Amino acid sequence: MLTPSQRRSWARHGARTIEAEIDAAKQLRFEEEKALHDAMKAAAKEREANRRRYTRDDLEGATHIRDSFGWWRIQKLNAKTVTVDGMFGPDRVPFDKIRDHRTITEEPHAATDAAQKPEPAP
Report the first-to-last Cα separation within the chain, whole angstroms.
112
Q: In the chain, pLDDT over 70 holds for what percent of residues?
A: 83
Element (H, E) at 43: helix 4-50
The answer to whether the beta carbons of residues 101 and 66 sit under 8 Å apart is: yes
3 has a pLDDT exceeding 60:
yes
Domain extent listing, the chain: 1-50, 64-105
Q: How confident is the model at residue 66 (pLDDT cuts 50, 70, 90)?
A: very high
**Of residues 81 and 11, which shows the higher confidence score?**
81
The CA distances from residue 12 to 1, 9, 20, in Å, are 18, 5, 12
The answer to whether the beta carbons of residues 72 and 101 sit under 8 Å apart is: no
Q: What is the mean pLDDT of residues 32-43?
A: 97
106 has a pLDDT exceeding 80:
no
Element (H, E) at 63: none
pLDDT score for 40: 97
71 has a pLDDT exceeding 90:
yes
Element (H, E) at 39: helix 4-50
pLDDT score for 80: 92
CB hemisphere CA count around 122 (13 angstroms): 0
Report the alpha-carbon distance of residue 101 to residue 83 in Å, rounded. Answer: 14
Report the alpha-carbon distance of residue 1 to residue 91 in Å, rounded. Answer: 81
pLDDT score for 41: 97
Comparing 15-19, 74-78, 107-111, the range with the smallest average pLDDT is: 107-111
pLDDT score for 108: 60
